Structure 1
Amino acid sequence: MQALYKRLNLYIGPTSYTFGPTEPIAGARSLTIHRDSGDVVLNAPSASIPPSGQCSPKTIYGILGIISLTLSDYIIVLTGRELRGRLMGQDIYRATEYEILPVDPRTSVQHPAHPVESHLLALVRSHLNNGCFFFSYGWDLTRRLQAQWAARESDEGKALWQVTDDRFFWNKYLQSKFIDITTTDPTQDLSSYILPIMYGTFDIRSASVNGYHLRLCLISRRSRYRAGTRYFRRGIDHDGHVANFNETEQMVFIDAKLNEGLGNSDEASTKLSFVQIRGSIPVFWAEVNNLRYKPDLQIMDYPDTADAMRKHFEDMLSHYGAQDLVNLVNHKGHEKPVKEQYERYVAQLGLPDVRYEYFDFHTECKHMRWERINLLIEKLRSDLMNNGYFHLDASSTDPVQVQRGVVRTNCMDNLDRTNVTQAAIAKWTLNQQLRVVGVLKDSDSVDYHESLSKDFREMWSDHADLISIAYAGTGALKVDFTRTGKRSQAGALEDGYKSVMRYLRNNYFDGPRQDAYDLITGVWRPRRGPSSALFLLMDPRPLIIRSVVPYLAFIALFMILAGLTLPRTSQYSLFYYFLIWLTLFALTVGFIFAHGIDYVSWPRLLPPTEIIHYHGAGFHSAKKGRGIGIPALDVGKLKSGAGAGAQWLAKGRRRAGSKLEEIEMGTNKRLD
């Protein structure tokens, strides 16, 4: 496999950026990006550094790519990394610091010439600083162990970016310019500068069990397709991609017995790998934020729903083999319609090697009876045994067995219930694996070995937190059970706090986070000129919505608090004073919640207007928060124009959407 440069020097000149490996490497070629034209050129091995170039004091650990905004292209470079462990003899790093370099010499990153550019740069920074990115210079983190073994011959001589799993190559859009140059001009092979990064989790820990030395590794890979936040990316798209898709791989490397000498190489170990996946329920559905704790549930029954679901499952079958679909949503109440839609289309498709298994998590495990997850595992036991796991002995080039299928788990958000369930299935499988290779006896269990059990619980808990932070903005719920094996009252209180924080983040802060996902992954691409994105600076809401009512509510609250400090000279006058301001405050707050949909922080780059104002076949829970006087309706019976309080909102959203459509016509497709 072609080597990547691990450390680069950066020479900054008035007309160019030049990157070159820090260590002397035979045949190494420096890379120049011309700032006047934006051309990327791979220099001859003997080329010298431009005399006008000033060496940056920071070491560059990789180039993440180039992003084009409204005023300039920008080079994103990695200036900080943290070693998180070694896997298959290669160092695994987490990216920690970044720098953004403007290609246009007239452009400043610190003081952009236009507020639109400043806004877009802030989105880029927030995504980089809040993301969880991992990379390696010599090991493909994007592919599971079995896939790499199967492709070991075809991978020979290829660059790291050429063998990655396209779904998990997070910065592929950013690297598209380097990739295009490399694929179109053989003399300009930039592969040594193309560093793939993975958005997800990585943890590896050592343990000793019954005289064996083990390394337990947990990796989660997040798909760049349909990426986003909790309420702004749900369900499936027309290409079969689902929101919040994660592939989670649990690996175990087992060395010889301790008294025979510790192995320190994963290549010389017995290797075990078990993969699970999670993803949003693969139908067209959403929850529309409206300031209430439970948003409106919306199901869009499009004519191509079955085709989209078929694409999704056929893709999963091609990657993983047989599918066990574990559905953990509630069988009644708010979640019931999504469950029914999912089951209806799974039955309609009738795909071979796709088996549906329903488990009502909240009902079965209520009153903190988490051990009842074993009921689900018993239902899956036969398939878990048949699908198996990847097992490669140190003394053989051929595997003892391969994994022939996966469990695909979902709850409503694919977070808390899914985390607990996947951890339980992973522990059951780990016990089976260690018994097969002789580390554990048939009567033994991971739970009987405190050090290994503690590491297992902590790894899965940290993994759950990071996935939840990426999607919902807070750590996972029910993580005390995953971490300790018990559900506690303190854990329940902590979950209450996290639920409140989720509510605040999802309603008031997730719009810009979703915009950052769409910008970095190339779902939305700006055109040159800030005027093409002026909508980012405009608030299309009516004046009464955006200013009058909120200011009146603030004034009323201020006067109420001020009234508490007034002298009690006349209880009669104070009664009317508080009555007036409390009434005004109640009316304004009531108005805000009645029109709650307009006080949510919506994405601006690709606002979900087609979801908010959907009137076709399907289901809608209530249409709350869209104005006064809209009763609970089935949207299959809802005609366009129903609900006077929602008319001006729909028109305002349509105006914003039409401007965006005119500006970005043809540019909202992903660039691969």
Structure 2
Amino acid sequence: MKLLHQRLNLYTDGNETYTFVPAEPVGTRSLTIYRNSGDIVLNPPNTPLPASSERSGKTIYGILGMVTLMMSEYIIIITGRELRGRFMSNNVYRATDYDILPLNPDVSVQNPPNTAEAHLLALVRSHLYGGQFLFSYGWDLTRRLQAQWETLQEDAGKALWDVADDRFFWNKFLQSRLIDVTHANSDQNLSAYILPVIYGTFDIRPTRVNGHYLRLCLISRRSRYRAGTRYFRRGIDREGHVANFVETEQVLLVDTAGADSNGDEASIQLSFVQIRGSIPLFWAEINTLRYKPDLQIMELQDTLDAARKHLEEQVSLYGEASLVSLVNHKGYEKPVKEAYEHRMAELLDLPKVRYQYFDFHSECKHMRWDRISVLIDKMEEDLNKQGYFHLDSRNQKPIVLQQGTIRTNCMDNLDRTNVAQAAFAKWTLGKQLRELGILNENEAVDNYEELIKDFREMWSDHANEISVAYSGTGALKTDFTRTGQRTKMGLLEDGYKSVMRYLKNNFFDGARQVRPMYKVVDAPIHIATFI
């Protein structure tokens, strides 16, 4: 895999150019962007800088891409990063700080020429600093382990952006100018400057179980399609993309040599993937300032085709699809449940798709959250059949391939979905450890205090971050995920979060939805977007 430049120095030549020079190795081809024309040029090796160039005092950790607003095109660069962990011999970073560079010499980012441009720049900054943007210079964070193994040979020698999963390459639209230059001219290959970024979560923690050194990792990837906030993005579009689609991968790394290093690849790698996504129908919730918005289900001719496209894509990517629906069977959510089941009855010709309903609130009422075990029992056959990815460096081929995945949804695909996914992940982790011989047949993950503590914290943090991205607040019900018990304090915290969701979703998400990260169709002003 071709590596990316990890550190760049920025030189500005007045109103003429921005030039990015790799910090190392010396003599690497620099990149110049001309401010008046917008031309992007990869310079010959050892090209001297103009004598009038001034060097920025900041180190640049990557070019996020370019965005066009009303008055100018802008380059967004990463000027701060936080190490989140080391995975597969590569560092994983979260972007923490950015600079926005205008190409138009008459535009100042600090003092925009008008209020409209100032507002758009504020929205860009809000998105940048409000999101969880993760990247690695040498590992493809956009793809799960099994997908990377399946294309290992054909990916050799390619750039990270060229093999990235299009769904999770969050800044692909911003990078389109650099990608276009690379495609147009073989001598202008900008791949070393094209940094793929995911919007999601990453956590990795070392632990020991019965003398075995393990690392437990959790990665989530948010789709750039049908992106948006909670009430402004529901359901499906005609291309089969659904709102709040997230792929979550739990990775277990086992070092059979017993090394204590966090940096090297483990000899045994196991991966378990789940997905979540909005109910694949045309439906919406219309804000009316009441606590419950108006629910609308559109019975369109395209509904069946869109749902079919969505499910066929999931089967082609993951294998068998087990659809777990957690919406309520009565009250406000009942029409969505019935419409979903009606459409599923019309799609019985999809042989690798199975629907499973679980009445979460009825089964787990009176704080009986241990009743999530009922859902595990219902899905145990599917979990065993679909399996997980298991690669051992002592074998040329994987011992096991994951043959399908569970797609879970509730109304928001947040709180109930998080609880269910954590339960599936915990069940699978126990199965993996027993099959590796690390746990005995009668042992469970709960028997190991350090391991279960890390597991619960990782899944709770993951739930909160996914929820903040979609709803503006942390997830509900995380007291159960974090402690294994539903508590009265957790109920109080959920009440507070619910009030904050109401305020944010009704009064602030309109601005969040029209930020320049999202495509605005038929807008009076063309705004370049992230997707």
With the shorter chain as reference, the TM-score category is: over 0.9
Alignment correspondent of 2:364: 365
Compare the two structures and name the one with the higher helix fraction: 1
1:456 is matched with 455
Does the 8 Å contact 1:226/1:243 carry over to 2? yes
* C-alpha displacement of 1:393: 1.1
Identity %: 64
Letter in 2 for 1:483: R
Distance 2:222 2:179 in 1: 21
Distance 1:347 1:394 in 2: 44
Aligned to 2:18: 17
1:293 paired residue number: 291
> Is this contact kept in 1: 2:390–2:401, CA < 8 A?
yes
Specify the alignment match of 1:520 in structure 2. 517
Partner of residue 127, structure 2: 127
Q: 1:356-395 counterparts in 2 under 5 A? A: 356-395=355-394
Offset, 1:395: 1.0
Say yes or no: does 1:202 pair with 2:202: yes
AA aligned to 2:160 is: L
How do residues 44-193 of structure 1 correspond to structure 2 at under 5 angstroms? 44-193=44-193
Partner of 1:20, secondary structure, is strand
Give the partner amino acid of 1:394: S
Report deviation, 1:49. 1.4
Task: Tell me by how many angstroms 1:339 deviates.
Answer: 0.6
- 1:110, CA displacement in angstroms? 1.0
Aligned mates of 1:7, 1:262 — CA distance in 2:
29
CA distance in structure 2 between the partners assigned to 1:86 and 1:341 by the alignment: 44
Give 2:272's aligned residue.
Answer: 274
What is the match of residue 442 of structure 1? 441
**Aligned amino acid, residue 297 of structure 2:** I
Residues 671 and 102 of structure 1: is their aligned pair in 2 closer, same or farther, counting only changes over 3 Å?
A: closer
**In structure 2, C-alpha distance between the alignment counterparts of 1:308 and 1:53, rounded to whole Å:** 53
Residue 389 of structure 1, CA deviation: 0.2
1:268 and 1:279 map into 2 onto residues whose CA distance is 31
- Separation of aligned partners in 2, 1:8 and 1:257: 38
1:256–1:263 Cα contact (<8 Å) kept: no
What code does the residue aligned with 1:24 have? Answer: P
Question: Do the aligned residues in 2 keep the contact of 1:390 with 1:402 (CA within 8 Å)?
Answer: yes
CA distance in 2, matches of 1:265, 1:230: 38
Whether the 8 Å contact between 1:3 and 1:159 is mirrored in structure 2 is yes
User: 1:88-116, CA deviations, whole angstroms, 9 ceiling, x for partnerless residues?
Assistant: 00000000000000011111111111211
Looking at structure 2, the residues matched to 433 and 669 of structure 1 have their Cα atoms a distance apart, in angstroms, of: 45
Between the aligned partners of 1:212 and 1:463, the Cα distance in structure 2 is: 25
Structure 1 residue 306 and structure 2 residue 304: aligned?
yes
CA distance in 2, matches of 1:133, 1:157: 25
CA contact (8 A) 2:69 2:528 kept: no
Deviations 1:376-401 (A, max 9, x none): 11111111101000001131121001
Higher-Rg member (1/2): 1
One of 295, 315, 324 as aligned partner of 2:322? 324
CA distance in 2 between counterparts of 1:396 and 1:109 reads: 55
1:597 matched to which residue of 2?
none
Corresponding residue for residue 504 of structure 1 = 503
SS at match of 1:57: strand
Corresponding pairs, count: 529
CA offset digits 1:324-368 (Å, max 9, x no partner):
000000001100100111111111011111000000000000011
Separation (CA, whole Å) in 1 of partners of 2:211 and 2:257? 5
User: Match of 1:493?
Assistant: 492
Say whether 1:8 aligns with 2:5. Answer: no
Q: Give the unaligned 5+ runs of structure 2.
A: none
Distance across 2 between alignment mates of 1:72 and 1:263? 48
**Correspondence for 2:336:** 338
Task: Give the Å deviation of 1:263.
Answer: 5.5
Partner in structure 2 of residue 578 of structure 1? none
Q: Deviations over 1:595-652 (max 9, x none)?
A: xxxxxxxxxxx6xxxxxxxxxxxxxxxxxxxxxxxxxxxxxxxxxxxxxxxxxxxxxx
- Alpha-carbon spacing, 1:478–1:11, altered in 2? closer, same or farther (3 Å): same
Contact 1:207 1:215 in 2 (8 A): yes
Shift of residue 36, structure 1, vs aligned partner = 1.2
8 Å contact kept, 2:64–2:77: yes
1:670 Cα deviation from its structure 2 partner: 7.7
Offset at residue 118 of structure 1 (A): 1.0
Q: Distance in 2 between matches of 1:442 and 1:295?
A: 49
Gap change, CA 1:342 and 1:204, over 3 Å in 2: same
Post-superposition shift, 1:2? 1.2
Residues 408, 61 of structure 1: alpha-carbon distance in 2 compared, 3 angstrom cutoff: same
Please tell me whether the aligned partners of residues 69 and 527 of structure 2 are also in contact (alpha carbons under 8 angstroms). Answer: no
Which deviates more, 344-353 or 90-99? 344-353
Q: Secondary structure at the match of 2:50?
A: coil
Cα displacement string for residues 117-174 of structure 1 (whole angstroms, at most 9, x for unaligned residues): 1111111010001011000000000000000011110111100100000000000000
What is the letter of the counterpart of residue 310 of structure 2? H
- Structure 1 residues without counterparts, runs of 5 or longer: 525-605, 607-659
What is the Cα deviation at residue 668 of structure 1?
Answer: 8.5
Give the secondary-structure state (helix, strand or coil) at the position aligned to 1:287: strand
Instruction: Identify the structure with the greater strand proportion.
Output: 2
Distance 1:266 1:225 in 2: 34
Q: Is the 8 A contact 1:256 1:262 kept in 2?
A: no
Distance verdict in 2 for CA 1:11–1:670, change over 3 Å: closer
SS of equivalent to 2:94: strand
- Please give the alpha-carbon distance, in whole angstroms, between the structure 1 residues aligned to 2:262 and 2:374: 39
Q: Does the 8 A contact of 1:263 with 1:269 survive in 2?
A: no
CA distance in 2, matches of 1:291, 1:268: 52
Query: Are 2:256 and 1:256 aligned?
Result: yes
Contact 1:329 1:361 in 2 (8 A): yes
Q: Does the CA-based 8 Å contact 2:174-2:530 persist in structure 1?
A: no
Q: Distance in 2 between matches of 1:400 and 1:256?
A: 16
CA distance in 2, matches of 1:490, 1:288: 31
The one-letter code sitting in structure 1 at the alignment partner of 2:494 is D
Q: C-alpha separation between the residues in 2 aligned to 1:199 and 1:61? A: 17
Q: Contact conserved, 2:76 with 2:101, CA < 8 A, in 1?
A: yes
What amino acid sits opposite 1:161 in the alignment?
Answer: W
For the Cα contact (< 8 Å) 1:58–1:79, is it kept in 2?
yes
The 3 A distance-change label for structure 1 pair 423 and 268 is closer
Residue 215 of structure 1: how far off its partner (Å)? 0.1
Kept in 1: contact 2:320–2:352 (CA 8 A)? yes
Per-residue deviation, residues 574-610 of structure 1 (Å, max 9, x unmatched): xxxxxxxxxxxxxxxxxxxxxxxxxxxxxxxx6xxxx
CA distance in 2, matches of 1:185, 1:257: 47
**Counterpart Cα distance in 1 of 2:4 and 2:156:** 15
Q: What is the one-letter code of the residue matched to 1:116?
A: A
Q: Distance in 2 between matches of 1:669 and 1:403?
A: 38
Q: What's 1:352 paired with?
A: 351
Matched position secondary structure for 1:408: strand
Q: Provide the rounded CA distance (Å) in 2 between the counterparts of 1:257 and 1:123.
A: 50
Aligned residue type for 1:126: S
